[in-house]
Amino acid sequence: MAEGGAAKNVKGQFDVTDFKDTFLECPVCVEHFNQTSRRPRLLNSCLHAVCTACLQALITKEGGNQITCPWCRQVQTVRGNVDTLQIDPVRDKLTEYEQMKIEKKIFCTDCPDENEAESRCQECSSYLCTACRSAHRRLRFSKDHTIITLDELFRDPQANFKRSHFCQYHPAQQIEFYCNTDEQLCCVSCCVVDHKDHEIRKLENAADAERATIEKQIQLISKTSELTQKALQKGARQKQTITNITEHNEADITTLYKSLKDAVEYDRKRQLANLKEKSRVALATVQTTTKAHEQTMAKIEATQGYVTKLKETADAVEMLQMYPSIMRSMNGITEVPECQVIDVTNLIFKADATTLKMSLSESADKAIAEVDRKKRKRTFPV
């Protein structure tokens, strides 16, 4: 299964434990993400995620304001410490659910007694014991909230396991709107105070529009993926052709010069060195193009996998949170990197009789001259 695949049962429910490890696993420490020191931090350049602890170690190791994705080698700009990188809301939510399912014991988040929870408030995303559930029902601000049992939550997690999203500027109020003018999520107070006279849309309406934009872009990327795959295949064929020509040429050159003596052996080595240099240059050219294609494919696969999970699991807020990152990731990968044409005819060895005779003649002349020089230095007793 590709990165981030999850199985669905006959009712359309998903089981987080069926996710391939690569989606909910840090590629550096190979540990599952959690809700403490290993929360998933998103790399906007490629939509891969690294746990907080490993990301901090990478920032410290690489220094400066850039880090390299350990998965696909895309470069991510970092302004400040690890906390400036966004926590991936999709992976984080799935990690929370997986951790709950593994531990099989959830404690009440509203009381200090660490009582075991038996229900969950959907509006507050709070886990409640029996006593706190009763208290929650009596409070004026929460008496109308929807409370479900944990059994109901686990029976249909896709429908029931949702997070409440509260405004960062007005923590008591939930996010209900999206400002098109400022491209920001906002609550009622934000709309009145900070976004007055702006184009305000309901979350679902705004999310639907962005989903449509993402869908169009992912279709373009799919075409790019097909063309890039073909380019990679062409590059592989070119590499094989270059290798085959080089091997045949080495055999031809070796056969041609095998019967010759020192002067011919010298010429053979010179020809081989020249051939290998041309082969090296040609292979380096193809390798550079192949590397660009591989990076493009890695980014495409990461984006496609992430968007698939986003469409399956993300709510409106998460969709809007991730929309800028997704679009940034997809920009620039709708065109296939140019595949340079390699002139393999330049690599083919051509036996040139005139040049060979000239080379042998020069070698012979040098050898004769050297013999004559030595002869002139020799003295014989009279």
* Contact call for residues 17 and 98 (beta carbons, < 8 A): yes
Indicate whether 179 pLDDT > 90. Answer: yes
Residue of 355 and 58 predicted with greater confidence: 58
DSSP state of 115: P
When pLDDT is averaged across residues 172-185 and rounded to a whole number, the result is 88
When pLDDT is averaged across residues 90-116 and rounded to a whole number, the result is 79
List, for residues 296-317, the tens digit of each pLDDT value.
888 888 888 888 888 888 888 8
Q: Which residues of 208-238 are buried (b: 16+ CB within 10 A; e: fewer)?
A: eebbeebeebbeebeebbeebeebbebbeeb
List, for residues 236-250, the tens digit of each pLDDT value.
888 888 887 787 777
Q: Which two tokens stand for residue 302?
A: 């990461």
Residue of 68 and 98 predicted with greater confidence: 68
| 336 contact partners, CB below 8 Å, separation of at least 6 | 224, 227, 228, 231, 293, 296
When pLDDT is averaged across residues 316-345 and rounded to a whole number, the result is 79
Cα radius of gyration (the chain):
33
When pLDDT is averaged across residues 45-55 and rounded to a whole number, the result is 89
User: What pLDDT is recorded for position 279?
Assistant: 87
Query: What's the mean per-residue pLDDT of the chain?
Result: 79
Indicate whether 17 pLDDT > 80. Answer: no
Indicate whether 258 pLDDT > 90. Answer: no
User: What pLDDT is recorded for position 5?
Assistant: 45
User: What pLDDT is recorded for position 198?
Assistant: 92
When pLDDT is averaged across residues 73-89 and rounded to a whole number, the result is 83
Indicate whether 4 pLDDT > 50. Answer: no
List, for residues 108-148, the tens digit of each pLDDT value.
888 877 788 888 888 777 888 888 988 888 888 888 888 88
Count of helices and strands (H, E) across the chain: 10, 10
